[in-house]
Structure 1
Amino acid sequence: MRPRDAAELVRLPAALTAPGDSLAGAAAAGWPYGGRTWAAPAASVCLYLAGMALNDFADSDLDAFERPERPVPSGRVAPFQALGTAVALSGAGLSLAAVAGGTRALRVAVPLTAAVWTYDLWVQRTAAGPAVMALARGLDVLLGAGGDTRRAALPALAVAAHTAGVTTLSRGEVSGTTGRAAAAALTGTATAAATAAALAATRAGTAAGARPRTAAAPRTAAAPRTGTGRRTRVAAGIATGAALAGYAATVGRAQLAALRAPGHAPTVRAATGTGVRGVTGLQSALLAGAGAPVLAGALTALGGLARVASRKVSPT
């Protein structure tokens, strides 16, 4: 298998959208893995790549008709190579999850891996497909959170809503979709953005009221500086708003175009690709809202890299 064939098999540019899931979960839960946090997004990437390789193995017959240029139907990659790649990457993802958080992380990583395999092998062409894919991405967020569903539930919901919409729309990449499917994708994007905005507003309000200053409790050298805290909240708010605006302007606009012309397959395909890459904007908003604006900026840059790389290798 040549490097170019392997990159096409696993949709390599799209893998750049995976680290943000677990990072958003980790930020929401207060970085539960500490210095081993790096292993969670690495696990996310491996499991994402595994799903892409497994998808091509499972879809080889359909791709021979709809996308004969793909690596497996074109003969550049043998089916057993695609399956072996999926198995190896799944094992690597589970191993990295164990490095990040041991049993606690594996309690999420194992169901996540099961969801990926279930989607690719059994349900992707059924009505349950979008829900199972959304479940997988939601679990990916919880993987970074160490399974802390209380604090990471809303970030997981936001990413899951986005994923359900994009997955529903992706079914029309080859022959076009329906107005209902395009509307569902746009609804998923709106739900994700609203959830991220509400979460950021709630956190900002909580932080603002956490340590009120009173005449009886003046600031001391050891006490937190209210001005600094306010500036931090303002910076986080600006970063969150900018990320959400970019998310709506890219993903939302592309999906609106698909809603206006649902039967035009190239428009639907473009909206799907934009949705796959555009999740980084949502992830950046979640990170900024959780108090990690610098990391959010880095993730936005990663999304830009994914867009550039997508010109060479298709992410869908």
Structure 2
Amino acid sequence: MAGRATAWAELLRLPALFTVPGDALAGAAAAGVRPGPRTLLAIGSSLCLYEAGMALNDWADRAEDAVERPHRPLPSGRVRPAAALAAAGALTGAGLALAAGAGRPALTVAVPLAATVWAYDLGLKHTPAGPAAMAAARGLDLLLGAAATGGGTRAALPSAALLGTHTLAVTAVSRRETTGGSALAPLAALATTGALTRLVATHRRIRLPAGRRAAAAPGLPGSGPAGVLATALAAAYAATAARPYFHATLNPSPPLTQRAVGGGIRATIPLQAALAARSGASATSLLIAALAPAGRMFARRAAMRKVSIT
């Protein structure tokens, strides 16, 4: 039983789950509303759709993994392919059901999000459109939080674009994590990290829905504690992502490229927190930031040490 549980934990990339709740929370913050019960439904939907993508990813890549990653659950025989596909379908259904529980606007975003996840895993992953599809999925996930919480999605579009840009850079690096040999992708990711850090830390004009601007204005970056917090979190984001990108640029070997991908994934949390602080939601940003140490503690548990986050 323990071995089966570990195999499923590896298949579903459980340590990476800590990067998911911040999407919905940052979306609610960007929309200018406080998280509520519907935000929790959006988080549940995001978690299910993320895990569906993980299971479907390994099912679709099982032949490739048999050559390049034979230790993974499917090629090693620890999880049956049919079970992984069934899990992907069930998790997708659960994700859409939770989104429907949060209201029609949330479901309107969750449907294209689920379609993007399946399209990426089944066809787009190995095409030039793959990184853009993954970026779109992360952006839609943030918009799901905004739609579910009731703030609308228009005000959250800039935050979704910034988070999607980060995801685009990480995904581009991940395409060479088993072969290495290219310094261009980590170099581009390093430059992207610098640009995003500057944008998140210095942006001051945030368009919020009518009636919410006055409440949010005191917390805008540069106008009080939230501004200091946004700058600090942006620095944490840069520190998490930049160093492994730099090392992979100097030596684009598979191990260093994989570390760069892992660093980019971990950097998602401080970026989400910085986006929330940038929107004036200091409490929400601190809640998101707390997911980073919690995720590290979880990953260090004996049963999780062999679970890859990529």
TM-score above 0.5 = yes
Q: 1:230 to 1:198 in 2, by over 3 A?
A: closer
Q: Decide which moves more: 178-187 or 66-75.
A: 178-187
Partner of residue 58, structure 2: 56
Aligned to 1:14, what secondary structure does the other structure show? helix
**Are residues 1:314 and 2:304 paired?**
no
- Asked if the contact 1:164/1:188 (under 8 Å) is kept, the reply is no
What is the CA–CA distance in structure 2 between the aligned matches of 1:248 and 1:306, rounded to whole Å? 18
Q: List aligned pairs for 1:58-207, cutoff 5 A.
A: 58-100=60-102, 102-146=103-147, 148-199=152-203, 201-203=204-206
Deviations along 1:118-140, whole A, 9 cap, x unmatched? Answer: 00000101111000000110111
CA distance in 1, matches of 2:261, 2:271: 15
Counterpart residue number, 2:294: 305
Q: Does 1:247 align with 2:237?
A: yes
TM-superposed deviation, 1:31: 2.8
Preserved CA contact (<8 Å) 2:29 2:284: no
Q: Deviations over 1:66-112 (max 9, x none)?
A: 11010000000000111011111111111111112x21111110000
Q: How does 1:285-296 map to 2 (within 5 A)?
A: 285-296=274-285
CA distance in structure 2 between the partners assigned to 1:161 and 1:232 by the alignment? 23
Kept in 2: contact 1:138–1:156 (CA 8 A)? yes
Give the equivalent residue in structure 1 for 2:28.
Answer: 26
Q: Is 2:248 the counterpart of 1:258?
A: yes
CA contact (8 A) 2:12 2:55 kept: yes
Distance in 1 (CA, whole Å) between partners of 2:119 and 2:239 is 33
- Percent of aligned positions that are identical: 49
**What whole-Å deviation, never above 9, does each CA across 1:5-62 have from its counterpart, x for those lacking one?**
1111110111110111111111111238743221111111111111001000000000
Structural mapping, 1:198-217, within 5 Å: 198-199=202-203, 201-203=204-206
What CA distance in whole angstroms lies between the structure 2 residues aligned with 1:69 and 1:47? 25
Provide the secondary structure at the position in 1 that maps to 2:205: helix
Once structures 1 and 2 are overlaid, which stretch shifts more, 22-31 or 276-285?
A: 22-31
Q: Is the 8 A contact 1:24 1:283 kept in 2?
A: yes
Structure with higher Rg: it is 1
Count of matched residue positions in the alignment of Structure 1 and Structure 2:
294
Shift, 1:293, TM fit: 1.6
Unpaired runs of at least 5, structure 1: 205-209, 212-223
Distance of 1:251 and 1:230 partners within structure 2: 25
Quickly say closer, same or farther: Cα 1:232–1:58, change in 2 above 3 A: same
- Residue aligning to 1:268: 257
Contact kept? 1:157, 1:192, Cα under 8 Å: no
Q: RMSD of the alignment, in Å?
A: 2.4
* Aligned twin of 1:220: none
Report the secondary structure of 1:145's partner residue. helix
